Amino acid sequence: YGHGAYGVEAAANTYFGKHVWELTLPEAAMLAGLPRAPARYSPYLAPKRALQRRRHVLRRMVENGFISPAQAEEAAKAPLHLRKREVKTVEAPYFVEQVRQYIEERYSSTDLYRGGLKVYTTLNREWQRAAEEAVREGVMAVDKRRGYRGPLAHVSLDRIDWQQIRALPWPKGLPLPRQEGQIVKGVVTRVGRKSVTVRLPDGSEGIIPLSKMKWAAKPNPLVDGMYRRIRRPSEALSVGDVIAARVLALPSKPGKRLTLALEQEPVVQGALLCMEVKTGAVKAMVGGYDFEKSQFNRATQAVRQPGSAFKPLIYATALTQGWTPASVILDAPIVIPDRPGHLWKPMNYDGKFHGPTTLRAGLTHSRNIVAIKLLREVGPEKVIQFAQKLGIESPLYPSLSLALGASGVTLLELVTAYDVFANQGVRMQPFFVRRIEDRYGNILEETRPAGEPVLSPQVAYLMTSMLESVVQEGTGRRVKALKRPVAGKTGTTNDFVDAWFVGFTPSYITGVWVGIDNMDPLGRRETGSRAASPIWLAFMQKALQGMPVEDFVQPEGLVTVQIDPETGLRAPPDEEDAITEIFLPGTEPTQYAVSMQRNIKDVFRQELQ
């Protein structure tokens, strides 16, 4: 029912301070209209819309014979006498809602709200706070790079209605500046050459230096927002603008001004899910920027295209068919008939072709052509079957566009699949509840993690090693700052609509998605590396702080060979550029690079022809 109220009794108390049996007809009708969209029809957030919704409920009650038209008309005219709103902060709201739904589906609403159940979850509260902060800050950073969408409202300085300004739905919280980091509403009273003066609801003033609002250029999807800046405050703000500002510093003494930074409510959304590798226990989950505004869980419910984050599943399928990290695919132009009269000419992100490329290099640098040709060789149907074994449940379509992540998945599914690589080929079922007891302490259920082997430990390690290369040398380089062994992969979809990063250490795996609910582009060059991996890094730095550094352990049953990185063949003893590569026994190359140079060039020439 919104605002942290679960069940009609809780809703009656939250909105009216009553028991459910004490509600009047107008009050009951308003509550009846809430479950469909609690935030949209909230009488606190949208009173006019709430009254319209109540009128609809009353009309339906008349149609179904519960009340007379006269009763409905009288109830529709009744004013809303709401209980004074208490600002409730439900800890880990998306996680709690996931658990609530699980209990209600498995048991009943009566057991959930009146059964006195004791529920023990997998949540790590400190990690959850770190996750929420990382998503919040990361999403706001991406949103700012999209440009400034303008003030919350505009008023005349001689007629400022502070009550009306306070009623604006964002930012929420206390109207007066109480602590650093808080976001407050204010009115611009002066626009200078290097700063803006802002009046706050309590009469105090704050200053926004130009350096704290340089991001506020007008939105332009054709320009990279990372480098777009305004030169004067007047390019973004005018006197009378109602704005949101973050408190950077409180006054050092009475009479001094606050230091502020310009903010805006993001339209960009984000999700994060962290899981324990060896058990599947979900340690932290964020399903969106603001649960109160949208209860839709983007970590478990949003089916979005994963882009290049899907490629590891193709590579892993190939490894099970005898391909190796040193196998070579020609990164050269390709033309594919994809429908009558239309040819698909895929390109790499950088617009270039790189010639003979090993699978390790292809994954490290996320080469689209290599992935497409590899998928064509191993077969889309085989990849789909393999992905389903790893935990992908969303429908996947057997076309070559699968190589670019064209079929949607959820973040939870992708984290589950990657966890197989981290967990030596064993698939774990993610879970949120450790144990449930009744009011008397009797255990109703207890989760005992049990994995299912779906991939050999050797192939799982080969994939982990290749994904380590993504972090060390490729598109995941930003997370090297964790200063621990990390394996992972970025993902970016066409027109920069979705950005992903899924990465793991030996013990914990975390996935991050960033995007906009209506599928608008995030902005030029807003890749998984730029938009998603900083959120992953910020969270993991806090979560793993103080923990010992772990290395990925290579299982028995693998061999190492010195190879030539250009051809994937054995390196001559005197080759200076030789690298060590890992193979399943019997798949390592037997021929030396020098003797095969002519053949490789011949293959290149033939395919170009």
d(CA 497, CA 516): 7
3-class secondary-structure state, position 243: strand
Strand order in the sheet with 118-121: 118-121, 433-437, 443-446
The residue count of the chain comes to: 609
What's the rounded Cα separation, in Å, for the pair 477 and 240? 44
- Long-range CB contacts for residues 541-545, cutoff 8 Å, separation at least 24: 541/481, 541/482, 542/126, 542/127, 542/130, 542/134, 543/124, 543/126, 543/127, 543/130, 543/131, 543/274, 543/283, 543/284, 543/508, 543/510, 544/482, 544/484, 544/505, 544/508
Residue 476 and residue 536 in contact, taking contact as beta carbons nearer than 8 Å: no
Residue 596: per-residue pLDDT: 44
Q: What is the mean pLDDT of each run of 10 residues along the chain (609 residues)?
A: 81 89 94 88 88 95 95 92 72 95 87 82 98 98 97 94 85 71 94 96 93 96 92 97 95 88 97 98 97 94 98 98 97 90 92 96 98 98 98 96 96 98 98 95 94 98 98 97 98 97 98 97 96 98 97 97 94 90 96 63 51
pLDDT at position 582: 98
Q: Which two tokens stand for residue 544?
A: 């793993």
The alpha carbon torsion through 598, 353, 309, 472 (nearest 10 deg) reads 70
pLDDT at 597: 45
Answer whether 258's CB lies under 8 Å from 250's CB.
yes
**Structural domains of the chain ordered from first start:** 8-77 (1.10.3810.10), 150-262 (2.40.50.140), 269-544 (3.40.710.10), 559-605 (no CATH)
pTM assigned to the model:
0.85
Q: What was the pLDDT predicted at 2?
A: 80
Residue 518 tokens, joined = 């209506």
Percent of the chain that is helix, strand, coil (3-state, to 5):
35, 20, 45
Q: How many CB atoms lie within 10 A of CB 438?
A: 13
